[in-house]
Each structure stands twice: as structure tokens, then as C-alpha cells.
């Protein structure tokens, strides 16, 4: 019976992880409210998931704000560089789809804009993870993350499909919003760290270790 109340017992460790995921999801939601901070909020979420949930380093809030301080310029400016054209593509997508419903002569332009905006979304996912993983100039962050998203198209498609699934589940069960952001970040971490990033830095360990690499942030 005493083992049941042991803080190292599997049940308590599981509950602690769930609580950490809720905290991280709330931090991401609050941090994304101004919209222009969505990039740094997503980068901090990815970083904190790796450092705290995977590597058991510090608390989730400490690692989240650590990433915010370190990567604010890189993540925010690279996100905005992608968010502007993505917003234009989405606006054109909705407009052409609406005009198609009104039997206007837009042919299948809405399909083209839908595909392009979907590719842009994948690019933004890679960009947030790249900013958490590497300390590079804004231009290089945007270009490198885009190249990775294109070269690893199958992984990009997988990330988009799972993101859509998370979105649908949250729409049907709104309370899942307290777990979905951190849950998706965990999935993205598994895909990108093990299937993509390791190909470019074959000597890295399983987690994110920006401090110990030449491309890393300095304490």
C-alpha cells in the first residue's frame, strides 16, 4: 500500500506528466493570444517538451520561459516572415472557394490556394521546431526549415494529418485543448528529432542539447 503513495510510483509519475502537459498547453495558449507571438510560443512549447518531459530537466514552466528568452527574435521574426504570405494564401483560399460556390469563374483556383496554404502550414511547423533546435539567423531558419519540410515530404504530410486529427478531436471534445498542444508537440518531437534532424547532426544525442553545440545558445 505504501508503494501506491510513493512519488516515484508509476501512477504518480503518470499524473505528474499529465499535469505538466496541462501546464504547457495553458502556457502555449496564453502565449499565443497576441497571435504575432504564436511562433515563439510554439518554439518554447517544443523546447520545453524535450527538455522537461523527455529529458527530465527543470520544470516545464522554467524551460518554456527559458526558450522564450533565448529564441524570441529568431522564432518571432521567422514566424512573421511565413505568417504574412500564409495569411494571404488563406484569404485567397476562402475567397476563391466562396466565389466557386457563387458559380463565379474561378475554376479550381481554390484547390491551388488550399494546397499552397497547407504546405505553408507544414513549413511553419518545421520553422518552430527548427528555432527550438538550432540557433541560426532568421533568414537561415526560414530557408532551412522550408528545405527540410520539402525534402521530408512524407514526414510533413504525417505531421499535417495528425495535426488535423488533434484539431478534430478538440472540436468534438473541447476540454482536450488542455492536453492537445503539448500532446502534438510530443508527437512532432518524435517525428522531427528521430526522423529528420538526426540526419543533419548524426552525432547528436536523442534530446535537444542546444547548449553543447556550436550552433547552440549560450547560457
Note whether 135 and 69 are within 8 A (CB).
no
Domain assignment of residue 90, yes or no: yes
Q: What is the span of the domain harbouring residue 130?
A: 2-212
pTM to 2 decimals?
0.85
Question: Across residues 195-204, what is the average pLDDT?
Answer: 73
Whether residue 194 lies inside any domain: the answer is yes
Domain annotation covers residue 15? yes
Position 93 confidence tier, pLDDT thresholds 50, 70, 90: confident
pLDDT band of 106, cuts 50, 70, 90: low
183 in a structural domain: yes
3-class SS string, 78-129: HHHHHHHHHHHHHHHHHHHHHHHHCCCCCCCHHHHHHHHHHHHHHHHHHHHH
In a domain, 161, yes or no: yes
Total domains in the chain come to: 1
Chain-centroid distance, C-alpha 186: 9
Question: Which tens digit of pLDDT belongs to each residue from 12-54?
Answer: 788 889 999 999 999 999 999 989 999 999 999 999 999 999 9
Q: Choose among 23, 198, 214, 47: nearest CA to 128.
A: 47
In a domain, 218, yes or no: no
> Does some domain include residue 219?
no
Could you tell me if residue 217 is inside a domain?
no
Q: Does the pLDDT of residue 193 top 80, yes or no?
A: yes
The whole-number pLDDT of residue 1 equals 47
Cα separation, 74 vs 58, in Å, equals 23
Q: Is the pLDDT of residue 159 over 90?
A: yes
Q: Is the model's pLDDT at 192 over the cut of 70? A: yes
Amino acid at each position: 500500500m505504501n508503494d501506491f503513495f510513493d512519488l516515484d510510483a508509476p501512477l504518480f509519475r503518470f499524473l505528474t506528466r499529465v499535469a505538466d502537459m496541462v501546464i504547457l498547453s495553458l502556457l502555449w495558449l496564453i502565449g499565443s493570444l497576441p497571435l504575432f507571438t504564436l511562433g515563439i510560443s510554439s518554439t518554447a512549447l517544443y523546447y520545453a517538451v524535450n527538455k522537461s518531459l523527455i529529458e527530465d530537466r527543470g520544470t516545464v514552466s522554467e524551460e518554456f520561459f527559458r526558450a522564450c528568452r533565448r529564441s524570441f527574435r529568431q522564432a518571432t521574426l521567422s514566424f512573421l516572415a511565413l505568417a504574412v504570405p500564409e495569411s494571404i494564401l488563406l484569404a485567397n483560399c476562402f475567397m476563391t472557394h466562396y466565389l466557386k460556390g457563387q458559380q463565379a469563374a474561378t475554376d479550381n483556383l481554390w484547390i491551388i490556394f488550399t494546397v499552397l496554404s497547407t504546405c505553408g502550414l507544414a513549413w511553419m511547423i518545421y520553422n518552430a521546431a527548427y528555432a527550438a533546435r538550432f540557433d541560426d539567423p532568421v533568414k537561415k531558419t526560414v530557408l532551412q526549415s522550408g528545405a527540410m519540410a520539402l525534402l521530408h515530404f512524407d514526414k510533413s504530410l504525417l505531421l499535417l494529418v495528425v495535426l488535423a486529427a488533434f484539431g478534430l478531436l478538440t472540436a468534438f471534445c473541447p476540454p482536450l485543448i488542455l492536453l492537445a498542444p503539448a500532446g502534438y508537440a510530443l508527437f512532432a518531437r518524435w517525428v522531427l528529432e528521430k526522423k529528420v534532424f538526426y540526419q543533419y547532426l548524426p552525432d547528436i544525442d536523442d534530446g535537444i542539447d542546444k547548449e553543447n553545440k556550436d550552433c547552440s545558445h549560450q547560457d
